[in-house]
């Protein structure tokens, strides 16, 4: 068989997916006697078959009636389908004929079978665009631009005797080839991604990860000590195990909620039987096949309401057929379909003669050719792009970094304690040594970290929901605060997604035109004012239908004029205009690009109205109204006036507006004129001549209110906004200028606007960009490193382009002063299935809650419930606040670690243990965890949206500054105060160096230990107040967080319970204190607070909270960001 390369003159090379092992296919075919037997697998005589009745009707309504009438035949045809399948199955099995049977010689040779399978595979390769790799990530096909006869011949399928409609005669593929073709093509289903067992994942969440390993190791050691009799502390391991299990369960549950992405995709696959036409020995066979059994080359029939079961080429359709692509693209406006062959190299996703898997026919009937099925469809390509696991979030990476850091510190401290015990001249029992080392290690582990982070993010997500931002993945809250680039759809996100009549332009003089934007003064009865005449003509010559609940059905431009009329005149006047008798009508079509209507005129005669593309309307105009709408204002159209019309139309188009022209003329045909007998040629010759030009309509999808301000707020916050649209570049640029994405004036720098043509050869051959030094890698890097810096508008892009844009920003964006690219943190908005790959690729995927499809919502991290771009800005601000508060929370939690571990080392010097493991737990789990969570309600300290975004690689939440503050500064002050008040316990000095204690001495140790514990509680209260601000004085900031204040009060109450409640005294080994002993540790609070006020005063003088964002966002600012250590230390 001829290959595609041979067919095209060998001009291109093709890399194709490896076929199924040809020999294996051939052997299976030969063993089954497939090619001999399937030829006779025709329908049984007298079977009742489905008749494609919906092609017989001339209207949608009639086709529906006939389809309902023949519904019983559909049901009977299922029986035929089963018999047909049984016959094919018997043929495929060869009736279990032995290999050595007499007719073995009649079977085809293995080489013929292999050739047949290869021929079928080559047929499918021919469906791809010339020179394109079938394995490309992007969607390619030549089915829309290939001549119909060539396309049918290449797929070995036939049209009916009546042509593309295929209502008569044999058509479709040969039934005898179906089984082999299915071996090559596979089933018409999208391959689902493999899912991990949810219970195995739960086990991983609880028992894996270095943090959990440390905690479980501590639990095991504690359990071993209890079992061996070296410890009686049962509370510690139970509480610790409970914390780990609870944190694992919480994380597991949140992940399960985000797992329905592929399920939503599978729901888009067609399930109803599909009317299919095949042939057997040149006889017509009309079948009802399950969608999964469709094959390339099949001819199918569709009617209004049917879901498209594969990627199809429209062979024939009724006038005005429309397909709803909302499930795929998120666009709510149905798109017309036309069987005409498209221009070569035109994008297949914009082809009107194609319909895609998962979309729905909303109007009309069609006969179509299946060309791609399953994973090769447009929907299948999208599904393949989202099967890969989501990369770790910025928060996950930072927490993992922090956990590793803490693990190293904890292990080093534990080993140091172990070595110190072993080197101690005074021998210790092995149980004591292990308990001491485990206690030192355990004191460094922030057991409440994961629950604190998770619950804090949950609280932040609830606060964001009040601003119409629904958080689906909790860690997206923190990531949103780090976003440096927002890639946004245009339609429905930046714009209203609703076409609106904005301008009416008419001649004010023969050399100039004026624009009217206020339509409230117009009146349909006013025949002398041009705006009134224009709007009346636009509404009367209109194909919009007002349906139930006052919903408009029609093209967006028609609906826009209808809405303008309703707003200006009210329902009654609009209905009066529309209800006028229609004498003759020429509907709009894509070839003529105009629509015409003739109606009776109330002053006698008729009124003709012509509306359409400005150049088409102007061509029929011999005259024009100038200044007024009366007969006296009609002037002869001159070439100069034609130029004025063209210039004004161009100006409106440059403002991202769709432009329509409108003209009219009076006629005086006799009352008995037979309008129904007028042909199209007669109408064009007699009705459309000598028209009088009225004016131009400017219709656009305007920006949403508040979007311009939101974009400017993003700029002030150091966040770039990039528009990604499928519209024309001029439309995208006009809107981008209007909402401040790019400057309204001046020449744009290179790479500011990127189109699909520029991206066509800038797609990597693999799944993502690579740095292998190849020519391709170097070419891509040279292009994309410029694009990620300067691009502000991407136009005419495909879904894969969107994903690549995000990948490029993540790889080459975020260039710093050191010349390194750390990658931008990207938020991507989307609403259609085609946006799902980019939504999943982005650091934060943002789906639209109103217009978004379920697949887009499942792929996203957050959902905008109101579809407002300004909600993203609110989300970024809340994300920054959440990150800041999370950092303060972690810093507060770590402050107690130094005073918690030091007693284990001091015990080696003969000082009685000042803080036991159960007391450490009482601080970490009993008090600190709730106070740390309360930071989620902390109000902002400064103007968060005047800072540049924090890059998680350069500025981690837990970095050197936080550790120095917590361990070497706050922790050191707490430790000094704790030891000072420890030694204030009466008689404690006498117990130094002893290993055995009398009951009185043991009680003294308990008093000292309780003093140490209580002082540390007070020290943590001081730390809680200190860490609420980085620089601002508490005398000015005060204590605005009521929940934090309550938690601080609860800390004191909980400490009192542990100190004075008898049961708690037994568990935590504490004892009651005197009033003086309870008051003395509060000197710690005063001391720490005073030192902090001094530090903050120096910090306020030495630096700002963060460098203010630059104003020029066409040039990326690469100044280094201030490390977080400066926040705490002011250095």
Q: Is the dihedral of CA 356, 359, 362, 366 positive or negative?
A: positive
3-state secondary structure of 286: strand
Distance CA 698, CA 601 (A): 27
- Among the listed residues 441, 451, 439, the one whose alpha carbon sits nearest the alpha carbon of residue 233: 439
636: which 2 tokens? 């002869």
Distance CA 44, CA 48 (A): 9
Alpha-carbon span 34 to 110, nearest angstrom: 12
CB 477 within 8 A of CB 459: no
3-class state of residue 324 by DSSP: strand
Please return the burial class of 28, using the count of CB atoms within 10 Å of its CB with bins 0-12, 13-18 and 19+. middle
Query: Who contacts 563 (Cβ-Cβ below 8 Å, separation ≥6)?
Result: 500, 501, 552
- Residue 55 class from Cβ within 10 Å (0-12 exposed, 13-18 middle, 19+ buried)? buried
CA distances from 1080 to 521, 1006, 1012, 1054, 1086 (A): 81, 17, 12, 18, 11
Partnered with residue 262 across adjacent β-strands are none
Residue 489 a catalytic site member: yes
Residue with tokens 């094919």: 88
| C-alpha to C-alpha distance for 547 and 545, rounded to whole angstroms | 6
Strand order from edge to edge, sheet including 283-289? 283-289, 274-280, 299-302, 366-372, 311-317, 354-355
DSSP state of 667: E
> How many other C-beta atoms lie within 10 A of the C-beta of residue 311?
30
Angstrom CA distances, 505 to 541, 570, 762, 807, stand at 18, 23, 42, 44
Q: Rounded distance, CA 614 to CA 541, Å? A: 15
Residues 690 and 759 sit within 8 Å (Cβ to Cβ): no
* Residue from 550, 555, 515 nearest 538 by CA: 555
Q: Check: CB of residue 113 under 8 Å from CB of residue 35.
A: yes
Longest dimension (CA), the chain: 127
Residue 231 class from Cβ within 10 Å (0-12 exposed, 13-18 middle, 19+ buried)?
buried
| Residue 196 CB contacts under 8 Å (≥ 6 apart), including other chains | none
What three-state secondary structure class fits 790?
A: helix
Rounded CA gap, 594 and 587, in Å?
Answer: 8
Q: Which of 489, 713, 831, 861 is catalytic?
A: 489
CA distance 12 to 913: 81
Quick one: tokens of 484? 């440096």
Beta bridge partners of 500: 700
Beta-carbon-side half-sphere exposure of residue 502 (alpha carbons within 13 Å): 16
Assign residue 320 a region (left: φ > 0; alpha: ψ between -120 and 50; beta: otherwise).
left
The answer to whether residues 900 and 443 touch, using CB atoms and an 8 Å cutoff, is yes
> Could you tell me if 307 and 181 are in contact, meaning their C-beta atoms sit under 8 angstroms apart?
no
Q: What CA–CA distances, in Å, run from 543 to 559, 586, 700, 828, 979? A: 9, 11, 18, 37, 87
Ramachandran angles phi, psi of 603, nearest 5°: -100, 10
Q: Which residues are catalytic, by number? A: 489
């Amino acid at each position: 068989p001829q290959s595609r390369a041979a067919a095209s003159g060998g001009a291109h090379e093709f890399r194709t997916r490896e076929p199924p092992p040809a020999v294996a296919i051939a052997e299976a075919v030969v063993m089954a006697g497939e090619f001999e037997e399937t030829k006779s697998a025709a329908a049984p005589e007298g079977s009742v078959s489905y008749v494609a009745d919906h092609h017989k009707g001339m209207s949608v309504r009639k086709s529906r009636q006939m389809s309902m009438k023949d519904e019983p035949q559909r049901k009977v045809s299922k029986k035929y389908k089963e018999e047909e399948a049984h016959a094919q199955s018997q043929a495929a099995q060869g009736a279990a004929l032995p290999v050595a049977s007499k007719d073995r010689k009649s079977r085809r040779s293995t080489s013929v079978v292999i050739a047949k399978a290869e021929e079928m595979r080559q047929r499918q390769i021919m469906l791809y665009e010339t020179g394109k790799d079938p394995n490309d990530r992007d969607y390619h096909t030549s089915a829309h631009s290939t001549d119909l006869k060539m396309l049918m011949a290449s797929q070995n399928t036939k049209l009916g005797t009546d042509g593309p409609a295929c209502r008569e005669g044999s058509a479709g593929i040969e039934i005898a080839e179906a089984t082999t073709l299915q071996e090559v093509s596979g089933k018409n289903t999208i391959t689902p991604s493999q899912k991990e067992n949810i219970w195995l994942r739960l086990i991983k969440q609880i028992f894996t990860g270095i943090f959990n390993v440390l905690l479980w190791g501590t639990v095991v050691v504690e359990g071993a000590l209890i079992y061996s009799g070296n410890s009686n502390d049962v509370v510690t391991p139970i509480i610790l195990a409970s914390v780990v299990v609870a944190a694992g369960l919480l994380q597991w549950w949140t992940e399960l909620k985000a797992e329905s992405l592929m399920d939503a995709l599978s729901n888009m696959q067609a399930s109803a039987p599909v009317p299919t036409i095949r042939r057997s020995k040149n006889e017509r066979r009309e079948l009802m096949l399950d969608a999964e059994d469709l094959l390339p080359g099949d001819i199918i029939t569709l009617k209004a309401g049917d879901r498209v079961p594969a990627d199809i080429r429209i062979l024939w359709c009724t006038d005005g057929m429309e397909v709803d692509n909302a499930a795929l693209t998120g666009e709510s406006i149905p798109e017309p379909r036309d069987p005409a062959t498209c221009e070569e190299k035109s994008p297949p996703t914009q082809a009107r003669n194609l319909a895609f898997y998962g979309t729905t026919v909303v109007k009309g009937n069609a006969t179509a050719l299946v060309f791609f099925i399953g994973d090769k469809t447009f929907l299948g390509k999208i599904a393949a792009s989202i099967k890969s696991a989501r990369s770790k979030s910025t928060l996950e990476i930072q927490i993992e970094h922090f956990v590793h850091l803490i693990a190293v510190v904890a292990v080093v401290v534990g080993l140091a304690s172990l070595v110190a015990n072993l080197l101690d001249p005074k021998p210790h029992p092995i149980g004591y040594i292990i308990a001491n080392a485990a206690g030192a290690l355990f004191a460094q582990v922030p057991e409440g970290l994961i629950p604190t982070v998770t619950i804090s993010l949950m609280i932040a997500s609830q606060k964001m929901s009040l601003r119409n931002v629904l958080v689906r993945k909790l860690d997206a809250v923190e990531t949103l605060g780090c976003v440096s680039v927002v890639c946004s759809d245009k339609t429905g996100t930046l714009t209203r997604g609703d076409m609106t009549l904005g301008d009416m332009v008419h001649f004010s003089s023969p050399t100039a035109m004026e624009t009217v934007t206020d339509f409230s003064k117009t009146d349909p009865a006013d025949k002398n004012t041009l705006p009134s005449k224009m709007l009346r003509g636009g509404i009367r010559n209109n194909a919009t239908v007002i349906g139930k609940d006052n919903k408009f059905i029609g093209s967006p431009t028609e609906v826009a004029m209808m809405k303008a009329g309703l707003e200006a005149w009210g329902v009654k006047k609009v209905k009066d205009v529309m209800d006028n008798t229609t004498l003759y009508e020429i509907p709009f079509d894509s070839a003529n690009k105009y629509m015409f209507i003739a109606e009776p005129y109330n002053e006698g005669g008729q009124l003709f109205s012509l509306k359409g593309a400005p150049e088409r309307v102007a061509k029929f105009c011999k005259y024009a109204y100038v200044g007024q709408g009366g007969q006296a204002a009609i002037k002869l159209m001159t070439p100069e006036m034609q130029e004025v019309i063209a210039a004004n139309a161009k100006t409106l188009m440059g403002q991202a507006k769709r432009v329509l022209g409108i003209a009219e003329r009076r006629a005086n045909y006799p009352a008995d004129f037979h309008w129904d007998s007028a042909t199209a040629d007669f109408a064009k010759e007699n009705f459309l001549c000598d028209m009088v030009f009225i004016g131009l309509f400017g219709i656009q999808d305007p920006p949403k209110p508040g979007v311009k301000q939101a974009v400017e707020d993003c700029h002030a916050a150091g966040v770039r906004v990039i528009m990604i649209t499928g519209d024309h570049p001029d439309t995208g640029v006009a809107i981008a200028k209007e909402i401040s994405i790019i400057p309204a004036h001046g020449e744009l720098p290179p790479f500011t606007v990127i189109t699909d043509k520029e991206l066509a050869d800038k797609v990597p051959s693999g799944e993502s960009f690579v740095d292998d030094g190849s020519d391709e890698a170097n070419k891509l890097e040279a292009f994309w490193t410029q694009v990620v810096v300067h691009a502000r508008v991407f136009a005419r892009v495909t879904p894969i382009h969107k994903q690549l844009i995000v990948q490029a920003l993540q790889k080459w964006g975020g260039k710093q002063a050191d010349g390194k690219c750390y990658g931008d943190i990207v938020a991507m908005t989307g609403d259609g299935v085609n946006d799902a790959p980019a939504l999943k690729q982005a650091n934060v995927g943002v789906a639209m809650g109103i217009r978004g499809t379920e697949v887009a919502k499942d792929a996203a991290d957050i959902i905008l419930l109101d579809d407002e771009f300004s909600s993203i800005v609110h989300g970024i601000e809340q994300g920054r606040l959440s990150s800041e508060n999370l950092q303060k929370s972690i810093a507060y939690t770590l402050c107690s670690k130094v005073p918690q571990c030091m007693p284990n080392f001091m015990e080696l010097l003969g000082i009685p243990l000042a803080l036991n493991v159960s007391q450490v737990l009482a601080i970490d789990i009993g008090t600190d965890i709730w106070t740390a969570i309360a930071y989620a309600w902390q109000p902002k300290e400064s103007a968060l949206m005047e800072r540049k975004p924090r890059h998680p690689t350069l500025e981690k939440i837990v970095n050197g500054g936080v550790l120095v503050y917590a361990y070497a500064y706050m922790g050191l002050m707490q430790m000094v105060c704790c030891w000072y008040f420890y030694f204030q316990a009466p008689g404690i000095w006498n117990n130094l160096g002893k290993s055995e204690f009398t009951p009185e001495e043991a009680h003294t140790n308990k008093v000292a230990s309780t003093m140490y514990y209580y002082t540390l509680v007070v020290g943590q209260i001081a730390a809680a107040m200190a860490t609420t601000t980085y620089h601002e004085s508490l005398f000015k900031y005060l204590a605005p967080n009521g929940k934090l204040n309550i938690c601080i009060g609860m800390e004191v109450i909980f400490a009192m319970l542990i100190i004075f409640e008898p049961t708690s005294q037994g568990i935590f080994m504490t004892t009651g204190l005197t009033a003086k002993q309870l008051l003395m540790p509060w000197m710690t609070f005063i001391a720490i607070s005073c030192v902090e006020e001094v530090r903050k005063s120096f910090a306020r003088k030495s630096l700002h909270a963060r460098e203010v964002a630059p104003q020029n966002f066409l040039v990326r600012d690469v100044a280094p960001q201030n490390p977080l250590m400066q926040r705490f230390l002011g250095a």
